[in-house]
Structure formats: structure tokens, C-alpha cells
């Protein structure tokens, strides 16, 4: 019997998404099944503009380095006029080369011009300072946290001196050793000095948290939030380096779990300050358990940042996945007609917001088989995960675009 999904498909706009939700969520996450496709980023840009203008969202967070994101936030809030600097120095994973990302940053800056600070849209990266090939040194985050506290508390309350901190950090090169990602013996993460730094970082964060009641003006409160970001990043990086030095069979699963834990902590901190729009790979935002295979490693599984945030926020977290039809320049041709993507691909228009609850009722049981892809950079929709979605965006065909590949 033919499956008719046309009544599940609606126009791609913020209103169509909001009709799928019981109320405006505090964190509204839009996923993507692959990185670097401008077609998907342009859809994201238009939806995010509408969510800002019509639904009052005031933070946009993307899957990029949380510390570098401060450079973009400075630009969009009028602290600098150099868009090129914001794009070159404000993104990780090669995201700064994207024309769609540049347009998003330019639009946020224009939207903010002339608005009161409380009504401005803020920009954030919510990933850790991590790449698929390794992790940054904890130096920047740890020194920034230390300097913040040293300017505000008595010296005898600090757990160490500046000289001790610098001695323990040492040179950055051992921290960023490229071989450490695949060879645990090359990591310094479980050295005596790294272990001491973990204790010092915990003490510094505790000292910061104990002073939460102190900031009263908007300026000092903003600085305190930034110091909290430094603290989360420093402790997260040290923990990540610790497990990079682990040689057990669960090493890689531990690392991907820690990365998404850092993402989740950043999102929850942003959500404390107001409604947040989030964009990242579907695997980092879904409620179901995520999995992937890296290099010649066994399959790794973990709970995503979205699953963690959802566990904390409940109905105040919403996840809208994106699915697609073709990426012909990557060898991803038309989906099988009986797959979920194939059923949506047969509809006449180029893109839709999909009512997943209605789609579920139409599909019935058994669910269609999952689509497969010969290209590692694209993760097809898993029909078993439909029940964990609040909605879906479907985009029919990707066009070829400039820019480099990156992992999830």
C-alpha cells in the first residue's frame, strides 16, 4: 500500500515549526545531517532570522569553539568593526570560510545596531576547543580564569601563584601533540603536572562559584558569566586530556561523551540567560543515543549534548532534525523510494517542515528501513529516532559549494 506523507509537510518558516510545539522552548535546536552544505545553512539562517524577529530569541549558538565565539560576539554587539577578523578568528572547524555563516554574522550585527543592550542578539560557540584530531592547551582558559579571580580576591585565597600555574602549564606543544589522539602514550593528560592542574582548576572554579552573589552591575555580571565559561572550558579540557592518555578499550567513547558534556554545559549556561537557538549536527542534538565509527576503531556510542540538555530542561528543550535528499557532488544520489527521505523526496516542492507526529502515524509499523550512505560525511535519518523529534526540516537537493570538510 502506498504511503501518503503530503499532509505531514508544511512551508518552511518559524510559524510552521512553532505550531508543532506546545510552547516556546528555552532551547530550540536545529540539527543537520552533514556539515559544510550551504543549502542547509541558508535554510538555518532564514529560520533563525524569523525566530529572532517573531519569537524573541536573543542568543544564537553554533557548533564551534566556545572561546573563539567570543570574537564573533564582540563583533555582532558592536565592539569591533572588522567582519573579516570575526570570521577568520571567531570560528573553529573551518566554519569561518562559509558564505552562509558570514551572512548570518553580518545580519546579527545589522539587527543589533541601535538596539538597547538587553534586546541585542548574542552569538556563541558551544563546542569545546576541540577538533577531531585533538584538543587545545588549557592555558588560555585557565590563565583567564586565574586573572579574573586574582583581580578580585585576596592573594591568600588563590590556590597557587601565577608562577606555579605557568610552571605546571609549561609549553603548549605537548598538550596539542597531534599523535596523542590515536596514541594514548603521547598524551600528557595523566602526568603529575596535569593532575595537579586539574585540582587547581577545580579550586579556582569553586572560588568563582562562591562569589556568585557579588556581581551587581550588568558589566560585572557579564564578566562573571565569561569567567564561568573559562572555568567550564579549563576543567573540561583537562578532563579531556586526562582521558586522551587512557589506553583502555573505552577511551574513544569516553572522549566523545566528554565533548558532548562540554557542549551541554555551555548550552545550559546560555539557557540560564534566556531563550537560545542552536545549530549543530543531528548527532549532537538528538535525544536518542548517538553512535559513530572513527578510523579503525570499534563503534562508539554516547549521550549527545541534546539528550543531556533535554534531561535537564524537559519540555523546554525542542529538537528539529534536518534530513535531505541528494548531495550529488558527494555521491549521495536520490534516496530509495520507500525510505523516509525517499517518501519526502517524491513531494513536489524543494523543502518542507515536517510534522513528525503525523508522519509517524502515517508510516505505521514496521518503520521504513534506514537509508545508507557510501559517503562517511553524511548521516541519514534513523527511522527509529523519529519518536524523539519535535519536528523535521527536509531539503531536497544540495548544491556544490566551496569550503572544507569537517567531522561531526
Tell me the three cell numbers of residue 2: 502506498
Domain-embedded: residue 123? no
Q: How confident is the model at residue 299, as a pLDDT?
A: 87
pLDDT above 70 (res 2): no
Residue 219 is predicted with a pLDDT of: 67
The Cα 131–Cα 95 span in angstroms is 12
**In a domain? residue 100:** no
pLDDT (tens digit, 9 = 90+) per residue, 223-274?
999 999 999 999 999 999 999 999 999 999 999 999 999 999 999 999 999 9
User: Is a pLDDT exceeding 60 seen at residue 50?
Assistant: yes
Same domain, 324 and 389: yes
Tallying the residues shown for the chain, one arrives at: 408
Supply the pLDDT for residue 407: 46
Mean pLDDT of 205-228: 88
21's CB contacts (< 8 A; 6+ apart) are 318, 390, 391
Residue 131 pairs in a beta bridge with: 134
State how beta strands 130-131 and 134-135 pair: antiparallel
CATH number at residue 286: 3.40.1660.10
pLDDT (0 to 100) of residue 294: 72
- Same domain for 234 and 342: no
Per-residue model confidence (pLDDT) at position 402: 53
pLDDT tens column, 80-103: 899 999 999 999 999 999 999 999
**294 and 253 share a domain?**
no
Query: Could you tell me if 38 and 102 are in contact, meaning their C-beta atoms sit under 8 angstroms apart?
Result: no
pLDDT of residue 72: 98
C-beta neighbour count of 38 within 10 angstroms: 19
Model pLDDT, residue 146:
98
- Is it the case that residue 405 has pLDDT exceeding 50? no
| Residues 347 and 6 sit within 8 Å (Cβ to Cβ) | yes
Residue by residue, what is the 3-state secondary structure of 119-151? HCCEEEEEECCEECCEECCCHHHHHHHHHHHHC
Assign 404 a pLDDT band (cuts: 50, 70, 90): very low
The CA–CA distances, whole Å, from 255 to 178, 244, 279, 396 equal: 15, 7, 21, 34
pLDDT at 87: 98
363: number of Cβ within 10 Å: 18
Does residue 382 lie in a domain region?
Answer: yes
Instruction: Judge if 282 and 226 occupy the same domain.
Output: no
Mean pLDDT score, 393-407: 74
C-beta atoms surrounding 81 within 10 Å: 9
The predicted model gives 382-395 an average pLDDT of 97
In a domain, 255, yes or no: yes
Number of Cβ within 10 Å of residue 407's Cβ equals: 13
Q: What is the mean pLDDT of the chain?
A: 94
Question: How far is the CA of 393 from the CAs of 224, 264, 292, 316, 320, in angstroms?
Answer: 37, 23, 22, 20, 7
Are 315 and 381 part of one and the same domain?
Answer: yes
| Average pLDDT score over residue span 360-374 | 91
250 lies in the same domain as 344: no
Please say whether the beta carbons of 326 and 334 come within 8 A. Answer: yes
Q: Give me the mean pLDDT over the 304-308 stretch.
A: 98
How does residue 217 score in pLDDT terms, banded at 50, 70 and 90? confident
Considering the domain architecture, whether residues 305 and 370 belong to the same structural domain is answered as yes
Domain span holding position 227: 134-264
Give the domain-ending residue among 242, 264, 286: 264
- Is 320 in the same domain as 351? yes
Helix (H) or strand (E) holding 393: strand 391-397
Note the pTM of the prediction, 2 decimals: 0.95
pLDDT of 3 > 90? The answer is: no
In angstroms, the CA 233 to CA 241 distance is: 12
Q: Are residues 317 and 387 in the same domain?
A: yes
Q: Is residue 329 part of a domain?
A: yes
Mean pLDDT confidence for 108-123 = 96
**Residue among 90, 53, 97 nearest 74 (CA):** 90
Cell matching residue 44: 538555518
- How many domains is the chain built from? 2
pLDDT band, residue 364 (cuts 50/70/90): confident
> Quick one: 254 and 282 in the same domain?
no
Please determine, for residue 168, whether its predicted confidence score (pLDDT) is greater than 50: yes
Lowest mean pLDDT among 165-179, 265-279, 356-370: 356-370
Cis peptide before 366 (omega within 30 of 0): yes
pLDDT at 403: 47
Q: Does the residue 110 lie in any domain?
A: no
Cα-based angle 356, 359, 364 (whole degrees, multiple of 5): 125
Confidence at residue 4, expressed as pLDDT on a 0 to 100 scale: 87
In a domain, 270, yes or no: no
Q: How far apart are CA 201 and CA 218, in angstroms?
A: 26
256 and 306 part of one domain: no
- pLDDT interval class at 295 (50, 70, 90): low
Q: For residue 127, what pLDDT band results from cuts at 50, 70 and 90?
A: very high
Final residue before a domain boundary, out of 264, 292, 321 = 264
Based on the fold, state whether residues 299 and 260 are members of the same structural domain.
no
Q: Is pLDDT of 186 > 60?
A: yes
Closest CA to 231 of 254, 256, 210, 252: 210
**Of 297 and 376, which is predicted with more confidence?**
376
* Of 231, 264, 297, the domain-final residue: 264
- For residue 320, list its beta bridge partners: 30, 391
**β-pairing verdict for 351-354 and 9-10:** antiparallel
In a domain, 283, yes or no: yes
Amino acid at each position: 500500500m502506498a504511503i501518503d506523507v503530503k499532509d505531514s509537510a508544511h512551508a518552511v518558516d518559524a510559524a510552521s515549526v512553532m505550531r508543532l510545539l506546545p510552547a516556546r522552548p528555552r532551547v530550540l535546536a536545529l540539527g543537520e545531517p552533514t556539515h559544510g552544505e550551504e543549502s542547509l545553512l541558508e535554510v538555518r539562517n532564514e529560520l533563525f532570522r524569523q525566530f529572532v524577529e517573531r519569537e524573541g530569541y536573543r542568543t544564537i549558538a553554533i557548533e564551534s569553539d566556545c572561546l573563539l565565539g567570543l570574537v564573533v560576539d564582540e563583533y555582532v554587539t558592536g565592539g569591533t568593526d572588522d567582519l573579516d577578523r570575526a570570521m577568520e578568528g571567531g570560528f573553529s572547524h573551518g566554519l569561518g570560510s562559509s558564505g552562509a555563516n558570514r551572512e548570518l554574522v553580518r545580519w546579527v550585527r545589522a539587527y543589533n545596531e541601535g538596539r538597547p543592550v538587553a534586546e541585542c542578539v548574542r552569538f556563541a560557540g558551544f563546542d569545546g576547543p576541540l577538533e577531531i584530531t585533538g584538543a587545545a592547551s588549557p592555558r588560555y582558559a585557565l590563565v583567564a580564569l586565574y586573572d579574573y579571580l586574582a583581580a578580585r580576591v585576596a592573594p591568600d585565597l588563590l590556590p597557587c601563584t601565577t608562577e606555579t600555574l605557568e610552571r605546571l602549564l609549561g609549553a603548549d606543544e605537548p598538550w596539542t601533540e597531534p599523535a596523542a589522539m590515536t596514541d594514548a602514550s603521547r598524551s600528557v593528560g595523566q602526568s603529575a603536572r596535569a593532575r595537579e592542574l586539574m585540582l587547581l582548576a577545580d579550586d579556582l572554579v569553586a572560588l568563582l562559584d562562591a562569589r556568585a552573589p557579588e556581581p551587581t552591575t550588568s558589566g560585572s555580571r557579564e564578566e562573571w558569566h565569561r569567567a564561568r565559561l573559562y572555568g567550564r572550558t579549563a576543567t573540561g579540557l583537562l578532563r579531556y586530556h586526562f582521558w586522551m592518555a587512557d589506553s583502555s578499550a573505552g577511551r574513544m567513547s569516553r572522549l566523545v561523551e566528554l565533548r558532548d558534556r562540554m557542549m551541554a554545559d555551555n548550552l545550559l549556561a546560555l539557557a540560564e540567560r534566556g531563550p537560545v537557538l542552536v545549530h549543530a549536527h543531528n548527532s549532537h542534538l538528538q535525544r536518542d543515543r548517538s553512535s559513530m565509527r572513527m578510523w579503525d576503531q570499534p563503534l562508539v556510542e554516547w549521550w549527545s549534548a541534546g539528550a543531556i540538555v533535554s534531561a535537564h530542561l524537559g519540555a523546554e528543550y525542542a529538537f528539529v532534525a534536518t534530513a535531505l535528499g541528494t548531495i550529488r557532488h558527494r555521491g549521495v544520489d536520490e534516496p530509495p523510494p520507500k525510505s523516509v527521505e525517499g517518501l519526502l523526496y517524491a513531494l513536489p516542492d524543494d523543502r518542507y517542515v515536517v510534522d513528525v507526529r503525523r508522519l509517524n502515524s502515517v508510516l505505521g509499523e514496521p518503520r521504513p528501513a534506514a537509508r545508507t550512505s557510501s559517503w562517511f560525511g553524511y548521516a541519514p535519518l534513523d527511522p527509529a529516532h523519529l519518536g524523539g523529534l519535535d519536528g523535521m526540516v527536509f531539503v531536497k537537493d544540495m548544491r556544490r559549494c566551496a569550503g572544507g570538510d569537517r567531522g561531526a
